[in-house]
């Protein structure tokens, strides 16, 4: 069951930032957007993320109803829930913006084509 936020927000953007804010949540969701992943696979995809932080963030995302443990396809794995999947256009827009704006702001990417496959699938 998704966690309920008994809190007032000034606007929907404030709510979205409260839910998605916190280091690593968006990165984890973006990786799961590609498909279900085991804990170790997620850990390998985000090498600067500690085990403790990954465990904590996955638990938070599960409590929010954005991520589910996927025991069917990938034993011990995680996948986006339907609510998490509804974030796909938002995650893609963030990826696209980062890819376009990052280099002019001095950003270097170790895996710049993370979302390339998902973009072509969602276009068709």
Is 0.85 topped by the overall pTM? no
Report how far residue 37's alpha carbon sits from residue 26's, in angstroms, rounded to the nearest whole number.
Answer: 15
What fold is seen in the domain 12-123? Arc Repressor Mutant, subunit A (1.10.10)
Query: Average pLDDT in the 105-112 region?
Result: 85
DSSP 81: -
Q: Write the pLDDT tens digit of every residue in 61-108.
A: 999 999 999 767 667 799 999 999 999 999 999 999 999 999 999 999
Give me the residue spans of the domains in the chain.
12-123
Report how far residue 71's alpha carbon sits from residue 36's, in angstroms, rounded to the nearest whole number.
Answer: 10
DSSP reduced 3-state for 38: strand
Partner residues linked to 80 by β-bridges: 67
């Amino acid at each position: 069951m998704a966690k309920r936020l008994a809190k007032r927000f000034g606007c929907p953007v404030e709510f979205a930032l409260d839910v998605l804010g916190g280091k690593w949540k968006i990165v984890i969701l973006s990786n799961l957007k590609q498909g279900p992943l085991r804990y170790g696979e997620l850990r390998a995809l985000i090498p600067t993320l500690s085990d403790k932080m990954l465990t904590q963030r996955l638990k938070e995302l599960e409590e929010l109803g954005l991520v589910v443990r996927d025991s069917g396809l990938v034993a011990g794995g995680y996948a986006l829930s339907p609510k998490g999947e509804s974030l796909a256009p938002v995650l893609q827009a963030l990826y696209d913006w980062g890819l376009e704006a990052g280099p002019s702001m001095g950003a270097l990417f170790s895996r710049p084509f993370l979302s390339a496959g998902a973009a072509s699938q969602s276009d068709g």
